Structure formats: C-alpha cells, structure tokens
C-alpha cells in the first residue's frame, strides 16, 4: 500500500509518496523562504499564492521521482488540513480532494502537529508510541501525551510565541535572514552563552507551559537599553551578535529541555519524541540527549531533513487508514489549533 501525501500548512509546498513500511519513494519540498525573507516572516497572502503556483509542479515532480503511476500505484491521498494558515491549507486540501475524486482513492486528513511527532517513527523504523511528544516549530511549541499516534492528550504549550517564532524575531533584531533558527544557531557557535542572563519562563514551575515573549523583549532591551530606541539604529559588532545569539539560544534550549523532561516524569511513559523545525537545532538536540541519558529516558528526535515541514511525515495517514478514518470530499480546513 502506498500514499501520496500533501503538505501546505505554512510556507513549504511539499508532496511525498510513502509505502506502508515507511519506505520513501519520493519527496519534494518547494521552499518559499526567498519570497518571505524580505518581510522577516511568512506573509499569508504571498504563501497562499505561491502554493497555487507550485502545487501541481510539486506533485508532478514527486510522481516522476518515484517512477510510479498515480493511477495504478497509489492507494490513498493524504493531506494536512490542520493547523496552519487558512489560505495555505486550502490549496493543499483542494488539490488532495481533486486527486482523490479523479483517481477514486480514499482521502485522509492529517493533523500537521502530530505528523511532526510521527517523523520520529520514520527514523526509528519501529513503533515509537506510546510516548510524550514535543512539537517545536515556527507556529507551535506544545507537549502531548500519546497512547498511540492518533490519541494525543494535551499536556501544555506556549502561552504566547512559539520557540521558532522567537528565533525568527531575534534573528531579525540581529539583522539576520529569515528563517532565523538556522542563522542564529550558526553565529551562536562563536558566542558565549553566559554573556546575557535572559529569562527562562516557568522553568521552576510545575506547569508544563512555555512563554517566549518576555525573552524576546529581554533580548531587545539588551540591544537597545531601556527606552524606545529602534533596534536597527544600534550597531552591534559580530562578537556582540554572536553572544546575544548564544545566550538567547541557551535560554530557549533550557526551557525546552526542562519541560520535556518534566513532562516525561509527569507521565508513566519513559519515552519522548520530538519534531518540528526547532528540533533541527544542534545545541537543543545535544542537550536534550544529555538530559534524557542522565534520566534514563528514551529519546527519539525527527531526522534533520524531516524536522522542518515536509510531506513524508504525512505517513501518519497509514495509522488513520488502519483505523478506517477516511474523509469524504466535504472535509474542511481547520486553521486554528485544536488541543484535542
């Protein structure tokens, strides 16, 4: 059995063909980074229009790469319909509906967040559930307890910005390009993480929540000093930027690691699976591994290439197919986060 999975929740137009044994026949991701870079973040209208332009070429390229026939070798169409940008989601869902109708194949709707966690299964090549799941992306920073891939129970999450969003905003303050995560982690290598003592919200609290908005503000004031001085009017040298990047990155990583461990300890599960763009961060991966090793927690982190948005993680659709959870053509998009 094989599926064609489609992903258009934010600013990547992606498609993949995956087998039930999680073999990947093809995967194509058309990034829109260049279009959004000048705005230091994703512009929803531009993202939606770019998906319209790229959707069919991306599907065509995926099918071509696989050497398979869409009509004869694909058994179902999967698409992420939640959460995400409304205009972006509509493009993927509409394309998936059209394919499902024309090819007379079942249509499976995927939750993008849980698909990020499912990316861990691709590397592990075994069942990683039950587990605690941490999604750290540009739009979300959330913890779930999973009895299985399709039964998420919300444990906690950010009360304001997502971790990735904070990376993107701080990068912009430092004059670094979008997306900010890779740019910050690159310059942070030359910085001293002890230079600035930035806040680590809730780190000593019981609650399994995150807050990165105060951290963003603290970074801003460490650049401008008190008062309403525009951040781009302050000239920083490369070492100052590296020190801010390293101190900021360490503050985010400390919060993520602390809450991940706390969440596992709160549950009877001894396993955590981590996915989403920020999970590509080297310092985060290393420090989470150290913390989990010290506590004897089994850790799975999505493989680097499947941390940021892709359609391969749409393989979670096989779990739905096995459970008989298919949609009819009236399936809608659900842009907001449903905490389940």
Return residues touching ligand KG4 (CB under 6 A): 10, 137-139, 164-165, 167-168, 179-182, 185, 276-278, 280-281, 308-309
- Residues near 318 by beta carbon (within 8 Å), at least 6 away in sequence: 1, 3, 18, 20
The nearest distance, CB 59 to Zn ion, in angstroms, is 19
Q: Tell me the closest approach of the beta carbon of residue 10 to ligand KG4, in angstroms.
A: 5
Q: Give the residue, chosen from 66, 81, 137, 158, that forms a contact with Zn ion under the rule CB under 5 A.
A: 137
Structure tokens at 204: 């000593």
Strand, coil or helix: what is 128? Answer: coil
Nearer to ligand KG4, 24 or 98 (CB): 24
Q: Choosing among Zn ion, ligand KG4, none, which partner's interface includes residue 185 (Cβ < 5 to 8 Å by kind)?
A: ligand KG4
Q: Dihedral, CA atoms, 336, 42, 52, 312, nearest 10 degrees?
A: -70
Half-sphere exposure in the Cβ direction for 239 (13 Å, CA)? 1
Stretch that binds Zn ion, among 122-130, 131-139, 184-192, 285-293 (CB under 5 A): 131-139
Minimum CB–partner distance for residue 185 and ligand KG4 (Å): 4
What are 134's two structure tokens?
Answer: 């941490």
Q: Taking CB under 5 A as the criterion, which residues in 297-316 touch Zn ion?
A: 309
Nearer to ligand KG4, 70 or 122 (CB): 122
**Closest CB to ligand KG4 among residues 66, 158:** 158
Q: Is 179 left (phi over 0), alpha (psi -120 to 50) or beta?
A: beta
Nearer to Zn ion, 161 or 309 (CB): 309
Reference 151, options 325, 328, 310, 336; nearest CA is 325
Query: Choosing among ligand KG4, Zn ion, none, which partner's interface includes residue 278 (Cβ < 5 to 8 Å by kind)?
Result: ligand KG4
Of 270 and 287, nearer to ligand KG4 (C-beta) is: 287
| Stretch of residues binding Zn ion (CB under 5 A), selected from 60-68, 73-81, 129-137, 258-266 | 129-137
Cis peptide before 145 (omega within 30 of 0): no
Given the complex with ligand KG4, which of 100 and 136 has the nearer CB atom?
A: 136
Pair 123, 302: CB distance under 8 Å: yes
> Tokens for 10?
């934010």
How far apart (Å, rounded) are the C-alpha atoms in residues 2 and 74? 5
- Residue pair 132/259 in contact (Cβ under 8 Å)? The answer is no
Find the shortest distance in angstroms from Cβ 307 to ligand KG4.
7
Residue 291: name the closest of 260, 313, 269, 321 by CA: 260
* Closest to ligand KG4 by CB, 157 or 276: 276
Residues 263-292 that bind Zn ion (CB under 5 A): none
Q: Please report, as ranges, the residues that interact with Zn ion according to CB under 5 A.
A: 137, 309
């Amino acid at each position: 059995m094989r599926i064609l999975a489609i992903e258009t929740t934010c600013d990547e137009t992606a498609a993949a063909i995956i087998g039930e044994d999680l073999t990947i026949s093809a995967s194509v991701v058309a990034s829109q980074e260049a279009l959004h870079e000048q705005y230091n973040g994703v512009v929803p209208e531009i993202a939606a229009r770019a998906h319209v332009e790229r959707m069919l070429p991306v599907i065509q390229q995926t099918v071509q790469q696989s050497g398979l026939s869409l009509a004869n070798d694909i058994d179902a169409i999967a698409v992420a319909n939640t959460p995400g940008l409304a205009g972006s989601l509509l493009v993927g869902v509409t394309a998936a509906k059209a394919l499902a109708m024309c090819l007379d194949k079942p249509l499976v709707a995927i939750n993008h967040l849980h698909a990020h966690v499912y990316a861990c299964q691709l590397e592990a090549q075994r069942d990683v559930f039950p587990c605690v799941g941490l999604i750290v992306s540009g739009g979300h920073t959330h913890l779930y307890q999973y009895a299985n891939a399709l039964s998420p129970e919300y444990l906690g999450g950010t009360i304001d910005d997502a971790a990735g969003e904070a990376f993107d905003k701080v990068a912009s303050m430092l004059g670094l390009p979008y997306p900010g995560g890779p740019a910050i982690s690159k310059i942070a290598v030359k910085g001293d993480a002890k230079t600035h003592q930035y806040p680590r919200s809730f780190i000593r609290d019981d609650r399994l929540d995150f807050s990165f908005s105060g951290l963003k503000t603290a970074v801003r004031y460490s650049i401008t000093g008190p008062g309403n001085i525009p951040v781009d009017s302050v000239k920083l040298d490369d070492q100052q930027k590296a020190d801010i990047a390293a101190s900021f990155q360490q503050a985010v990583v400390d919060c993520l690691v602390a809450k991940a461990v706390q969440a596992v300890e709160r549950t009877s599960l001894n396993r955590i699976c981590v996915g989403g763009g920020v999970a590509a961060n080297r310092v985060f991966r290393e420090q989470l591994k150290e913390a989990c090793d010290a506590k004897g927690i089994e850790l799975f982190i999505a493989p680097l290439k499947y941390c940021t948005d892709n359609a391969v993680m749409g393989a979670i659709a096989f779990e739905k197919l096995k459970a008989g959870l298919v949609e009819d053509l009236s399936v809608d998009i659900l842009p907001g986060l449903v905490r389940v």
